[in-house]
Structure 1
Amino acid sequence: MKYEKISPTDNYPYKIFSFHSKSSDRLIPPHWHESLELLFCFSGELEVIFAGQTYHLKAQEFIIINSNHVHSTRSPVLGECLVIQFPLEYLQRITEEQYLKKFLFKAIPDQQNSEVLACLLYIYRNFSSEELVNHLYVKAKIYELLAILCESNTFSSTDMYEIKSFKYLDKMKVVNQYIQDHYTQNLMIEEVAKIFNYNPSYFSRFYKKFMGITFTEYLNSIRLDAAYKEMRDTDKTILEIGLNNGFATNKTFYNVFRNKFGMSPQKFRKQFLKKSN
C-alpha cells in the first residue's frame, strides 16, 4: 500500500483521464489517496477491491471509492475505463463542508442511474477536448453528476469506523513500507507484529479490518507484482523468480500465481512472450 498524490488535470480542478487495459493480467496493487475516486467502466470489465469487498464492474457501470480508502484494481477483460479523482478540499468546498463530515457516497447505487450514466458518457467523450466551450460543459456535467449522487447515493458518516480509522493511515504506511522493504525475506506476521508492538492475533484482525485484505494477501500482492515484472523483463527461470521474491517454494509461487491470474506462471509467460512477439 502506498500513498498516491493526486495532481489535477490541466483546465480542471480534479484529475480526469481514461485508460485502456492492454492485458488481462493488469494489476494495480493496494494504494490510497485523499481524493474520492470514481471509476466508470466504458467497455470490458474491471475488478475493484476495497473495504473487504470485491466488485466486478461490467461495461457502462461505475463505482465510487471514498477518500482515504485502500483499494486495488485488476482488468480481467480488456477494455477502457474513465477515472475521475476529486481532491478532498474541492469536494468539501462544493458540498459546503458536508462530505466526509456528514455523509459518504455509496460504492455502487442500488440501480445504475440513467442520469448518472448520461453524465459520465458525456464527460468521457468530451473531457480531452482542447476547446474552452467543452471544458465548461464538462465542468457543468461534473456538477450535475455530483448533485445527482448527493441526492440519491449517500449515507451518513456519523460514527463510521472508516472515519475514525483515518488516523491510522500514517501508522499503516510505515507498516506496509516495512513489508515492501522486506518482502523477499521469509516474512511472518508474528515478526511484523512484534516490530510494531502489536499482539499477533490483534494485529491480524486489525490489519484485515483496516486494509480490507489479510496480511498474507497484501504480502503476496507485493511479491506477485515484483515477480510479474521479472517474468516480463528477464530470462530468469520460474523457480528463480519465485525464490527471489520471497516465495518459500516453487509450489507456493505456483498456487498463489494461479489463484490470482487463473493460470500457471509458465503458461502466463508463454502467452506474454507470444503477444510480445
Structure 2
Amino acid sequence: MKHEMISPNKDYPFKLFSFTSRNPDRLISTHWHESAELLYCLKGNLEVRFPQVTYLLEPGDTLFINSNIIHSSRSPLPNEVFVMQFPLKFLQEMTQNQYNDQFLFNLIPLKEKDEQLQTLLNQIFKDYQVNDLATNLLVKSRTLAVLSLLTEKYSIPLATKKTIKSLKHLERLKQVNEYVQINYNQSLKLEQVAEVFNYDPAYFSRFFKKYMGIPFSEYVNTVRLEKAYYQLRDTDMTVLDIAMANGFFSVKSFYNVFKKNYSLSPQQYRQKYFK
C-alpha cells in the first residue's frame, strides 16, 4: 500500500496512458493517490479491489476511482486498459470546487454500456498521443465533455468528508506503509509493528483490516511478492535467493504465497512468462 504521486502529461493538465498486462494475475499492490482515476477496459479483464467491494472490468467497462480511495488491481486475463488520471486541484477547478466537497463520482461497470461515454473515451484514446496543437485541443475538449457527462449522470452527493471512512486514517496508514516498504525483508510480525506505532495488537489488527480490506500479514506478503516479482522477471537470481532477499525466509513460504496469488510456482511462472 503506497501513496502515489501522479504527474500530468506534457501539454495536458491531467495524465493519460494505456497499459497492457500479458501475464495473468499480475498484481498492482494496494495504494492510493490524491488524483482521481478513470479506467476504461479495452481488452481482456481487470479486477479492481476496494476494501469493501471488488469489480471485474470487461471490454467496454468503465470505473471511476475517487480521490484518496485505497485500491489494488490484478489482471485475470491479458488485457489493455486506458487510464485517465485527474489531479484533485484540476477537478476542483473544473467543478467550481464542488468535487470532493459536495459530490463524488459513482461510475461502476454496468450491463448496459454508456455509448456516449464510450465514444468520447475511444476518441480520446485514439488521439491523445498525437502531438499537434489542434488534436491536443480536441483531447482537452473531449475530456471536459467526459467530466460534464460524469457530473450530469454519475455524481452522488457528499454531505461530509467523514463519509469517506478511510480519509482520516490515510496519514497513519501511510506511515505504516513506509515502515513496511523499508523493512519488508525483515521479520514483520503484527505485534512488533503495532508496538512501533503504539497500538494494541488486537486493535491494530482490526484497524488495518477495516481500512485496508486485507489482514496485515497478507499486506506484508503482497509487498514482498511485488518486490520478488520484478526480481523473478528481471534477474537470474535463484528462487531461493529471491525468497531470502524479500523476507520470506524459506522457499516453501515464498512458494505458497506465490502460488496462492499466481496459480503457478515461481519457477513455473518464470518459465512460462519470462523466458
Same fold (TM over 0.5): yes
Letter in 2 for 1:9: N
Q: Cα offset for 1:82?
A: 1.0
Letter in 2 for 1:15: K
Identity %: 46
Paired residues for 1:72-151 under 5 Å: 72-108=72-108, 110=110, 111-151=112-152
Letter in 2 for 1:264: S
Q: Could you give the per-residue CA deviations for residues 216-257 of structure 1, whole angstroms, max 9, x where no partner exists? A: 221011110121122223333323322332224333222211
Runs of 4 or more consecutive aligned structure 1 residues displaced over 6 Å after TM superposition: none
CA RMSD, Structure 1 to Structure 2 (Å):
2.0
Larger displacement relative to structure 2 (17-26 or 123-132): 17-26
Letter in 2 for 1:190: E
Q: d(CA) in 2 for partners of 1:13 and 1:25?
A: 32
1:229 and 2:230 equivalent? yes
Q: d(CA) in 2 for partners of 1:273 and 1:97?
A: 47
Q: Cα offset for 1:67?
A: 0.4
SS at match of 2:237: coil
Letter in 2 for 1:172: L
Letter in 1 for 2:232: M
Larger displacement relative to structure 2 (229-238 or 190-199): 229-238
Letter in 1 for 2:27: L
Q: Could you give the per-residue CA deviations for residues 151-202 of structure 1, whole angstroms, max 9, x where no partner exists? A: 2212222245453542332222111111111111221111111110111122
Q: Cα offset for 1:83?
A: 0.9
Q: Could you give the per-residue CA deviations for residues 106-147 of structure 1, whole angstroms, max 9, x where no partner exists? A: 140544312111111111111111232222222221122112
Aligned to 2:248: 247
TM-score (norm 2): 0.91
TM-score (norm 1): 0.91
Q: d(CA) in 1 for partners of 2:168 and 2:17?
A: 30
Q: d(CA) in 1 for partners of 2:107 and 2:192?
A: 35
CA 1:230 to 1:10, structure 2 compared with 1: closer, same or farther past 3 Å?
A: closer
Q: Cα offset for 1:50?
A: 2.3
Gaps of 5+ in 1: none
Larger displacement relative to structure 2 (45-54 or 159-168): 159-168
Q: Cα offset for 1:12?
A: 1.4
Letter in 1 for 2:45: E
Gaps of 5+ in 2: none
Q: d(CA) in 2 for partners of 1:5 and 1:134?
A: 27
Alpha carbons 1:100, 1:163 under 8 Å: kept = no
Aligned to 2:200: 199
SS at match of 2:76: strand
Alpha carbons 1:15, 1:86 under 8 Å: kept = yes
Aligned to 1:186: 187
Larger displacement relative to structure 2 (143-152 or 233-242): 233-242
Q: Could you give the per-residue CA deviations for residues 9-65 of structure 1, whole angstroms, max 9, x where no partner exists? A: 122111111222243353322222111001111112212222333221111111111
Alpha carbons 2:101, 2:161 under 8 Å: kept = no
Alpha carbons 1:35, 1:85 under 8 Å: kept = yes
SS at match of 1:96: coil
Paired residues for 1:38-53 under 5 Å: 38-53=38-53
Letter in 2 for 1:17: F
SS at match of 1:77: coil
Alpha carbons 1:91, 1:99 under 8 Å: kept = yes
Q: d(CA) in 2 for partners of 1:207 and 1:158?
A: 26
